[in-house]
Amino acid sequence: MSNVLTELSAALATAVSQADSGIVRVEGRRRLGATGIVWSAEGLILTANHVVRQDEGLTVGLPDGSRVAASLVGRDPSTDLAVLKAEASGLTPLTEGNKQELGVGNLVLALGRPGRTVQATLGIVSALGEGWRTRLGGQIDRYLQTDVVMYPGFSGGPLVDAAGQLIGLNTSALGRGVSLTIPTPTLARVADALQAHGRVQRGYLGVSTQRVHLPDELKAELEQKRGLLVVSVEKDSPAAKAGLTMGDTLVSFADNAVQSHDDLLALLAGDVVGTAVSAKFVRGGQVHTTEITVAARS
């Protein structure tokens, strides 16, 4: 047994050592440093959006101990991702792991570089699931939860497998009380969008709303307790063109009940831009249906 544990210990230490060159320190907020992942040899760095509190004066601490200036390429709060461009080249990106081999119970390492050296914490994959949307509407390609301890400064750092290969980016901002990892397919998709446009495309209706309770008869008919009262409609907006007016109560969008503003935001992802989406609303105590052609938020 002691030989098995010794070999496992050595293998994990080797995994950390192999990943070391692909992990950087991100200085984008006061006092506490955070972690970033080397995404390209030319200096592209991925990190968590919530640790980049400023758009200018960013610094990246490289694995060799040097510090270089960095610029913000773009950020996507809905997936808590940001892309930086460090003034460096010849960096070593992490090798992507085989996501098909990842299963619940597999050992994983969360790595961080909040200071000059890499730190690590060990855990297991505690849950895997289908794709999901964050409360701000960001599309995450796979639900990936671990039991690793997220120490201060670990957000933006990598989750790696026992071979030191990249599984995803760790963040403490997407789930309360759980350690969630943004998987590599999401990292690639969002990074491409931020490099191309500086932002991830989001849908736009042109309404302001507030949550309201529905009358008892509508609660029974719609099987939901709340809706979104339309308090303003922008001129020539998608909502205006679809016939929505102030005083209507939106209760369904894209065949999904909407009972809070976050519900609506979650349904306005980039993939619905340009499409006609069915919506239900209450006017004068009656439920009506319309189609709204979703525009892109400028």
Closest CA to 106 of 86, 121, 126: 126
Decide if 153 contacts 137 (C-beta within 8 A).
no
Q: 1-200 in CATH: which number?
A: 2.40.10.120
Residues making up the chain, counted from first to last:
298
**So what's the pLDDT on residue 213?**
95
Query: Which residues have a catalytic role annotated?
Result: 50, 80, 155
- Asked whether the beta carbons of 105 and 128 are under 8 A apart, the reply is no
Q: How far apart are CA 253 and CA 261, in angstroms?
A: 12
Every domain of the chain with CATH number 2.40.10.120 lies at 1-200
Q: Residue 208: phi, psi to the nearest 5?
A: -110, 140
Residue 69 identity: A
What pLDDT, on a 0 to 100 scale, did the predictor assign at position 115?
Answer: 93
- Is domain 203-296 annotated with CATH 3.40.30.10? no
SS3 66: coil
pTM over 0.75: yes
Q: What is the model's pLDDT at position 275?
A: 93
Closest among 196, 183, 180, 166 to 37, alpha carbons compared: 166
Return per-residue pLDDT of the chain as tens, 298 residues.
Answer: 668 889 999 999 999 999 999 999 999 988 889 999 999 999 999 999 999 999 999 999 999 999 999 999 999 998 999 999 999 999 999 999 887 789 999 999 999 999 999 999 999 999 999 999 888 778 899 999 999 999 999 999 999 999 999 999 999 889 888 899 999 999 999 999 999 888 887 888 999 999 999 999 999 999 999 999 999 999 999 999 999 999 999 999 999 999 988 888 888 877 788 999 999 999 999 999 999 999 987 6
Buried b (16+ CB within 10 A) or exposed e, 242-251: bebeeebbbb
Identify whether the C-beta of residue 170 lies closer than 8 Å to the C-beta of residue 155: yes
* Residues contacting residue 182 through CB under 8 Å, at least 6 positions apart: 79, 80, 81, 140, 144, 168, 169, 170, 171, 174
Residue 259: the pLDDT is 94
Evaluate whether 144 touches 180 at the Cβ level (below 8 Å): yes
Task: Give the pLDDT of residue 1.
Answer: 63
Distances (CA, A) of 86 to 44, 62, 151, 190, 256: 6, 9, 24, 18, 42
- Distances 72 to 83, 195, 287 between C-alpha atoms, Å: 6, 10, 46
Assigned token pair, 263: 């519900």
Q: Where in the chain is the domain with CATH 2.30.42.10?
A: 203-296
